[in-house]
């Protein structure tokens, strides 16, 4: 059955076997021929998410030597999926006044007339032009990886990070993950290829207590590193706080803090905490009732 599933690119069946009969799956895909057939089928699969889920599950079944190529294939699939979701729009711009430049088309009439008053002839230095440039913005994504952030949920979180990164290519952004402590995955002042970012995300260890305040503190420090006209932070969490001090004191220091409340564990989360966070942070709270919707919710919150 497994070999037939490999031949037919049936990754749902392959994943089910990997979960229920991990030893059998390890033996079969450990064979060099089957291993390469699986990777080739994943690369060309029309059901890329199913293929990505299987590869994510299969990593632990393979030798260290074979994990490298599998991980590279998984990252490639995640980037393709992220690209489909991110659908980058037009970057906001701002206007500015400058001296005469032939490449600019618009003249600031009032300023130019004022400079030319009393003169018989307008000189180039009298002309004031209107230019446009991308608006300086910086973004912060803080991701709760405590509690039940495992298996499919973790892969969806990695996909959400890919969507966030591709949407903001060319802009300043940082990514922080937190549970008991916080870790900067992508610093604000670093350039990082999306593939390297996803590679780092796939190596994260999840679980543990939730120190929401620590995540917010590290995120705020990162957001403060960049001078920008617009600063926006997105917090992905279920709202439960199981360690650390009150996070609301830090939330009110953010210029704008949005919360995506996601169901990490049982009970759906602490909605009161999530609403209080955005009230302090002057943002909005969005309840993501299905974890599968998180990548698209990232896009919506950035609009």
Q: What is the pLDDT of residues 42-89, one digit of tens each?
A: 999 999 999 999 999 999 899 988 999 999 999 999 999 999 998 755
Q: What is the pLDDT of residues 268-293, one digit of tens each?
A: 789 999 999 999 999 999 999 888 89
| pTM tops 0.85, yes or no | no
Q: What is the number of other CB atoms lying within 10 angstroms of the CB of residue 78?
A: 26
Q: What is the pLDDT of residues 182-219, one digit of tens each?
A: 999 999 989 999 999 999 999 998 888 999 999 999 99
Is the pLDDT at 90 greater than 80, yes or no?
A: no
Q: Based on C-alpha coordinates, what's the Rg of the chain?
A: 24
**pLDDT number for residue 88:** 59
Domain ranges of the chain: 2-86, 93-134, 137-302
Q: What is the number of other CB atoms lying within 10 angstroms of the CB of residue 26?
A: 15
Q: Where are the beta strands (DSSP E) in the chain?
A: 93-99, 106-107, 128-134, 137-144, 172-178, 182-186, 230-237, 257-261, 285-287
The CA distance from 263 to 144, in Å, is 11
Q: Could you give the angle at the alpha carbon of 90 between the alpha carbons of 52 and 193, nearest 5°?
A: 40
The CA distance from 149 to 1, in Å, is 31
For residue 149, name the pLDDT band (cuts at 50, 70, 90): confident
Residue with tokens 């802009």: 171
Q: What's the per-residue H, E or C state across 164-221?
A: HHHHCCCCEEEEEEECCCEEEEECCCCCCCHHHHHHHHHCCCCCCCCCHHHHHHHHHH
Q: Could you give the angle at the alpha carbon of 255 between the alpha carbons of 247 and 268, nearest 5°?
A: 45
Architecture of the domain made up of 137-302: 3-Layer(aba) Sandwich (3.40)
> To the nearest whole number, what is the mean pLDDT of the chain?
90
Nearest alpha-carbon partner for 29 in 61, 4, 73:
61
């Amino acid at each position: 059955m497994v070999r037939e599933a490999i031949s037919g690119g049936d990754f749902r069946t392959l994943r089910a076997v990997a979960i229920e009969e991990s030893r059998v799956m390890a033996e079969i895909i450990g064979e060099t021929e089957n291993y390469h057939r699986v990777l080739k089928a994943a690369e060309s699969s029309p059901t890329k998410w199913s293929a990505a889920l299987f590869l994510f599950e299969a990593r632990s079944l393979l030798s260290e030597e074979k994990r490298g190529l599998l991980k590279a294939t998984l990252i490639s699939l995640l980037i393709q999926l992220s690209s489909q979701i991110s659908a980058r729009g037009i970057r906001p711009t701002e206007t500015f006044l400058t001296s005469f430049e032939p490449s600019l088309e618009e003249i600031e009439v009032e300023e130019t007339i004022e400079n030319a008053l009393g003169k018989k002839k307008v000189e180039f230095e009298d002309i004031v032009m209107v230019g446009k440039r991308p608006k300086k913005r910086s973004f912060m994504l803080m991701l709760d990886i405590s509690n039940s952030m495992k298996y499919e949920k973790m892969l969806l979180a990695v996909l959400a990070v890919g969507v966030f990164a591709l949407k903001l290519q060319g802009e300043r952004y940082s990514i922080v993950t937190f549970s008991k402590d916080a870790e900067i995955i992508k610093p604000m002042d670093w350039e990082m290829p999306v593939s390297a970012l996803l590679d780092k995300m796939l190596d994260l260890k999840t679980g543990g207590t939730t120190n929401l305040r620590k995540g917010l503190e590290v995120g705020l420090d990162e957001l403060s590193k960049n001078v920008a006209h617009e600063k926006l932070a997105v917090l992905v969490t279920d709202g439960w706080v199981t360690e650390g001090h009150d996070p609301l004191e830090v939330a009110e220091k953010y210029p704008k803090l949005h919360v995506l409340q996601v169901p990490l564990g049982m009970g759906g989360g602490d909605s009161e905490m999530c609403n209080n966070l955005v009230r302090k942070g002057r943002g909005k709270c969005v309840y993501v009732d299905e974890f599968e919707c998180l990548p698209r919710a990232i896009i919506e919150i950035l609009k």
